[in-house]
Amino acid sequence: MRDLNRRRIARAKSHKASPRELREAKVRLKEIEEELRTVPLAPETKRGEDRERRYSRILRLRALREDFEQRFPYDKRPHGNSLLLSLVMFVSAFAVCACLAGTVVGGYNLLTAKPDPVGTGGVFWDSVTSQDYATVHDSYLSPTLRVQQKTDTFVLAARQADTDYGPVTNATLTKKQVNSTNDVATLNYTVTRGTSTTYPVTLTLTIFNNVWGINDLGATFQPNEAGVPAPSPTPTPSPTATPEE
């Protein structure tokens, strides 16, 4: 009772009771405590429950429990639906855990794995074969090489090589070497121009923002550096002398 009244006082304080209400509550609390002291207690409260009464109470509760179980029997046999539900829950939990683990591992590998330079070399030669030199310059060269060679100058030099030696028709990878320490890759190719002109080309690639870019084109557009004879200049026809009359 004392705790109850204290809770009431606390509740009154939380509702911002006035000082007068709080004083009245304290007075009322003292009155209630005095009344409780005059209330006679039952013998069971003072001495506790005797053995006979306790035993009879246990028997009464036991009889009530048995009566309830007879009226509402509990079937303890395992049900098929319960087993099926347990199996479905287990399989679902395992599948969810497997999916989460696969997602985490796949995301980690995607973030930490480095791309293959051979893929960059392949799309580079595809664009060279199709003579899409603007894409080659803007997409497959390293930032350093793009700064050194402007797009117009690069495209003009590539087209001049096609005019002098024939367009590139094929490029076969012969050797691959990747240095993971400084993120440099070297790819060796045998390049064919026209129908029969072949020469070796070495591409040097570097990684920038986890993307491979070609930092050295080698003899791609200068076959004469790989031993291909330079084209002979076209002779200029001399003017024909006009006979004098």
| pLDDT by position in tens, the chain (length 245) | 556 666 666 665 566 667 788 788 888 888 888 888 887 777 666 666 777 878 888 898 899 988 888 888 776 665 556 667 777 888 888 888 888 877 776 665 555 556 788 989 999 999 999 999 999 999 899 998 888 889 999 999 999 999 999 999 999 999 999 887 778 999 999 999 988 889 999 999 998 888 899 999 999 999 998 888 887 765 455 555 455 54
What is the DSSP-derived secondary structure letter of residue 105?
H
Would you say the pTM of this structure is higher than 0.85?
no
E-strand spans in the chain?
Answer: 168-179, 184-193, 197-208, 211-216
- Under a CB-based contact definition with an 8 Å cutoff, are residues 5 and 29 in contact? yes
- Cα 154 to Cα 136: distance, rounded to the nearest angstrom: 9
Angle at 205 between CA 108 and CA 211, to 5 degrees: 35
Residue 189: count other Cβ atoms within 10 Å of its Cβ.
21
- Under a CB-based contact definition with an 8 Å cutoff, are residues 212 and 204 in contact? no
Q: Show the tokens assigned to 220.
A: 């791609």
- Cα 10 to Cα 17: distance, rounded to the nearest angstrom: 10
Of the candidates 174, 172, 182, the one whose C-alpha atom is nearest the C-alpha of residue 205 is 182
pLDDT tens string 85-117 = 777 888 888 888 888 877 776 665 555 556 788
- Cα 189 to Cα 77: distance, rounded to the nearest angstrom: 75
- Cα 122 to Cα 183: distance, rounded to the nearest angstrom: 18
- Cα 9 to Cα 26: distance, rounded to the nearest angstrom: 8
**Which string of b and e fits 197-213 if b means at least 16 CB within 10 Å?**
eebebbbbbbbeeeebb
Contacts of 143 (CB under 8 A, 6+ apart): 208, 213
Query: pLDDT at position 46, please?
Result: 64
pLDDT tens string 186-215 = 999 999 998 888 999 999 999 888 889 999
